[in-house]
Structure 1
Amino acid sequence: MKREALVLLASGTLFGLIVGWVLGSQEPAGPSASPTVVTQTEDAGTAAGATPPPLDEARVRDLIAEAERDPRDAVTRTVLANLYFDADRFREAIKWYEESLAFNPDDVNVSTDLGVSYYYTNQPDRALEQFMHSLKVEPEHVKTILNIGIVRAFGKQDLAGAAEAWDRVIAISPDSPEGRAAQQALESLRSGHAGEVDTTGS
């Protein structure tokens, strides 16, 4: 089963106490993957302040050796990227996500996780560009669209663009975890920035 990693962002200067949602869509990295990430059935608040799991260096070495034996093995590269992602080592994750996508460019989950990794390394424009690639593959991928709103709000200070993305998430999948997250974000916009952006579309 896919693991939906929900990571909380702190943004006291933008939304006050708003919960910032960034969704990854990694496949489970295996037995060593941390159970502390928030799944679709968990309250996202439980992730606040969570410490990333330590990287399983021995497993990483084995996977790197496996990847070197088969330079076109996208699956192993994705597993490596997910391990680094879960350990908050996003620059290393980027390397392996990029290599995986080179062989499987239409993997929307890997593409979106790469975009999230760009965002966490202070590259919001590259993140948005990668999310656009994801939407070319799957135009209604709600995790990607929700992330677009996050990056527009927190990375670009584009509240109108964020509201537009979150409205779209709600229109596509209102009762999903992503839809509920988008609704919460829009409510925070309404309460904190009512005069700055039209958030009545939802």
Structure 2
Amino acid sequence: MGVHKREREADETKGQYIKKSSAIMLAVMGVFLGAFIGNAVTMLYVGQREQRVNVSAQATPTESPVPHSADPEALASMENAAAADPTNADLWIQLGNFCFDHNLPARAVNAYERALELKPNEVNVWSDLGVMYRRTKQFEKAVGAFGHAAALDKSHITSRFNMGIVYLHDLNDPASALKVWKEVLAINPEAKSPTGQRVADMVRELEK
């Protein structure tokens, strides 16, 4: 996968932790509730890259103002390769991963959407698309993408956890966040965030 650095999540339910990898940049506010109020802001990097449709007529959002780190020649090469072979889903996934890894979320959204038109059952592409929707402030679409990943894989912890983050911090819907985080605990009662925070503790705070 070239620059793609994501750990495979197939065995995520076997361990205590929700997987963390260098490629995902899902930055979230910390659980700002109950005993956690005033403690700290947690930067959570949750997701996967090899496990990743939404086809929308909505205009593509502009890129983040944060400068991207993509090599222009490498980016152009990958874009040209995908354009030259537009029915090759793997090339669109590779382009999406490259853009994901180099802070080009709107381009990643476009590439992932194209890939999912061709391969609609790619769980991890759906999940990564949800992260990119969040980065482009398309919060309802982010929830939809995470929900689709969760529907495709009943044991997919990351998509459920990230869906809860969007519900809680972006859509102001703690009840829905509580519901999906309880689903995480049903899959793995010992699940933790990459910072070591137990999902069970987060659920208890939401229930207060």
Q: TM-score, normalised by structure 1?
A: 0.71
SS at match of 2:44: strand
The more displaced of 16-25 and 122-131 is: 16-25
Aligned to 1:19: 42
2:133 — aligned with what? 118
Unaligned runs of 5+ in 1: 29-50
Retained in 2: the 8 A contact 1:2–1:25? Answer: yes
Question: Residue 135 of structure 1 corresponds to which residue in structure 2?
Answer: 150
- Kindly provide the CA deviation profile for residues 129-181 of structure 1, in whole angstroms up to 9, marking residues without a partner as x: 11222122112211111111111111111222212222221221234xxx111
Query: Bigger relative contact order, structure 1 or 2, given CA contacts below 8 A and separation 6+?
Result: 2
- Per the TM alignment, residue 187 of structure 1 is displaced from its structure 2 partner at its CA by 2.8
Q: When you count strand as a share of all residues, which structure comes out higher?
A: 1
1:180 — aligned with what?
192
Instruction: Name the structure where helix makes up a greater proportion of residues.
Output: 1
- Give the % identical residues: 28
Q: How does 1:48-197 map to 2 (within 5 A)?
A: 54-175=69-190, 179-181=191-193, 184=198, 187-188=201-202, 190=204, 194=205, 197=206
Separation in structure 2 between the aligned mates of residue 103 and residue 73 of structure 1, nearest angstrom: 8
CA contact under 8 A between 2:31 and 2:202: conserved in structure 1?
no
Q: Where in structure 1 do 4 or more consecutive aligned residues deviate above 6 Å?
A: none
The AA in structure 1 aligned to 2:44 is: W
Q: Identify the range of structure 1 (83-92 vs 12-21) with the bigger mean alpha-carbon deviation.
A: 12-21
**Structural RMSD (CA):** 2.9
Please report how far the alpha carbon of residue 10 of structure 1 lies from its aligned counterpart in structure 2 after TM superposition. Answer: 3.5
- One-letter amino acid matched to 1:155: D
Q: C-alpha distance in 2, partners of 1:55/1:147?
A: 25
Q: Which amino acid aligns with 1:27?
A: E
